Structure 1
């Protein structure tokens, strides 16, 4: 029977990551970064990667990685979600890394695993696993075309670009025109990538690499959403215990207790779904079992994370509506995550087909 409980090693990893984020990723600093042209915290990224080796969790040890599994990566993403950390971990250490693992490019895998370079898969953040993706044209050995909605492209050193000849190409970021677009989630910017005769190195077949990358991204995104929801509930409970009305803690009012209790139950279910998706991916299943686990996790995670953030905003009352309070960062992350790697509706539709329970 699958054990979805956290192991001692996973708890130790969580503690180490949380301590680092507590010291180097305070809410005021994250908010301040969103007001600049450089929202990514590359100093924090360096601490996570070069200091702790977290970028290489999914990479085998013989290729310069840590040889861990998706379960450990999920723990890291939970903590990054709790801190809405502005680092390209999901884009580089999960999605781009999974694509390279499928292609078997050892050189680039080693560079991403060390954290020396940041990778980004040049497909739209909104795409669900198995969805059709845009490919650029190959003309005289050079790449031409425009790709939109690429997450963390502005921080990337190398782009993994699908082309119309069926290949996936590594393109140096400075060979592309990358234009940052206004993002709802200011901590995970998206960009338009334009290639006009850019040189690329063919890595392998695009279709299986993109499919694997998006499945892992969707599955582990649920853990990030769990972290967002967990922060929202924890902080709301703490605030309601401190805030008083009629000389009583607001958290003592029965109506609010019921709302928080319901949210806690949903959070418990979300944790089970997210852990199951991570565990299934860790077991290396690339068939229907993994597809079902990922679809279940994403169909459930997005609504719960959004509702948790909305409740946090409302129950923090006036202070929650201010720019200085970080709750708006969590609501924006939850909303943006709800359409990343496929909407909940898209995953429910995929799940219905996988288990042969389509609507009449």
Structure 2
């Protein structure tokens, strides 16, 4: 088991952190998706192709490296389709299509993954995938499909015929979702539909870890400079205890995410339990840290102008993205035969 980043992973973390600090600071996050930042993210760092095999133009890295990148994009509340494309890339590496993988790795194509299956009839699909992540920004929808030959994975051009996209009003203003209606939309069969649910849980937990860390760092810094009744608020016992509790949650979450990412790359037998644990614990812990950091700001934390509500909303949206924590707790209990 490996819970500590190696030198290359630390270098990746610093590179992504430095890039996002300059190109996508929090002051830009509230304005939504910037295609130029996303293009630079792929052009300069190649993050879209991080886990895509080298034979398709990617870096051939593992989920542990993707987790490092997602932690930093989560901490920066990066708007746009990076998480959606990471989800799609995870599925595509298990049903490889040379043309599509190469386009994603080069940053020419932005993909997203549907969670609910559609119906395949011949070369066309019908269905309405619910709440497609970054559905308005993506170029290609990768989706499981039910057909005569069993469940397969298909790719649908979202700007093609038979596709209607409608933006949804979401809690998180930094990342959009869409309702996608497919009515005999042309589709390309990529191969048998892979089971990637556990891998998606790990990837999402990595982003949640970044959200937790950034929220805690922000409120600790504020507690050191905010004075009330002639004292820094960080000197009050109630504040110190709350910050200590938040730090403990962060430390536990980091260990869980590192373990789950290691299991995804090195120990597939341990992955189901590690993935269920990641979402059962990290999802709720992330929301609690974001909630408490907002409350500790006092009145200013509730204003629209402050960034605290952005962390709060991202944390809540992520907590239920792959199902509420109770679903993952139930699965973990089943795996442990409890």
| CA distance in structure 2 between the partners assigned to 1:226 and 1:87 by the alignment | 18
Among 129, 137, 147, the residue aligned to 1:147? 129
1:332 lines up with 2:332 in the alignment: no
Correspondence for 1:198: 185
TM-score (norm 2): 0.95
- Secondary structure (helix, strand or coil) at the match of 2:322 reads coil
Match of 1:88? 81
Q: Is the 8 A contact 2:117 2:143 kept in 1?
A: no
**2:44 paired with 1:44:** no
2:53 aligned with 1:53:
no
- For structure 1, the residue ranges without an aligned partner over 5 or more in a row are 34-38, 124-132
SS class of match (2:132)? strand
Q: Name the SS for the 1:348 alignment partner.
A: helix
1:330 is displaced (CA, Å) by 0.5
Question: 1:134 Cα deviation (Å)?
Answer: 3.4
**In structure 1, C-alpha distance between the alignment counterparts of 2:203 and 2:124, rounded to whole Å:** 34
- 2:238 corresponds in structure 1 to 255
SS at match of 2:173: coil
Deviation of 1:260 after TM superposition, in Å, equals 0.7
Q: After superposition, what is the alpha-carbon deviation per residue over 1:23-42, rounded to whole angstroms, capped at 9, x for unaligned?
A: 111222211x2xxxxx3221
* Aligned counterpart, 1:126: none
Structure 2 residue matching 1:296: 3-state secondary structure: helix
The Cα shift of 1:219 comes to 0.8
Contact 2:80 2:176 in 1 (8 A): no
- The structural deviation recorded for 1:7 is 1.1
How far apart, CA to CA, are the structure 2 residues paired with 1:142 and 1:59? 27
Equivalent-residue separation in structure 1 for 2:175 and 2:200 (angstroms): 14
Quote the Cα distance in structure 2 between the aligned partners of 1:69 and 1:319: 41
2:113 matched to which residue of 1? 121
**In the alignment, does 2:303 pair up with 1:311?**
no
CA distance in 2 between counterparts of 1:66 and 1:303 reads 32
Separation (CA, whole Å) in 2 of partners of 1:156 and 1:55: 13
SS at match of 1:84: coil
**Is the Cα–Cα contact under 8 Å of residues 44 and 87 in structure 1 kept in the other structure?**
no
Is 1:189 matched up with 2:176? yes
Task: Give deviations 1:299-353, integer Å, cap 9, x for gaps.
Answer: 1101111111111111111211111111111100100111111221111111111
The answer to whether the 8 A contact 2:118-2:125 is kept is no
CA distance in 1, matches of 2:81, 2:199: 15
- Aligned length, in residue pairs: 333
Q: Report the Cα offset of residue 205 of structure 1.
A: 1.8
CA shift for structure 1 position 151: 0.5
Distance in 1 of aligned mates of 2:157 and 2:310:
31
What is residue 157 of structure 1 aligned with on the other side?
Answer: 139
Matched, 1:277 2:260: yes
Query: RMSD in angstroms over aligned alpha carbons?
Result: 1.3
1:137, CA displacement in angstroms? 4.6
1:16 aligns with 2:15: yes
CA contact (8 A) 2:198 2:276 kept: no
Aligned to 1:169, which of 151, 154, 160? 154
The equivalent residue for 1:74 is: 67
Take 1:336 and 1:137, find their aligned partners in 2: how far apart are those partners? 30
Shift of 1:246: 1.8
Offset of 1:54 from its aligned partner? 1.1
Paired with 1:247 and 1:161, the residues of 2 have a C-alpha distance of 58
Say whether residues 1:6 and 2:1 are aligned partners: no
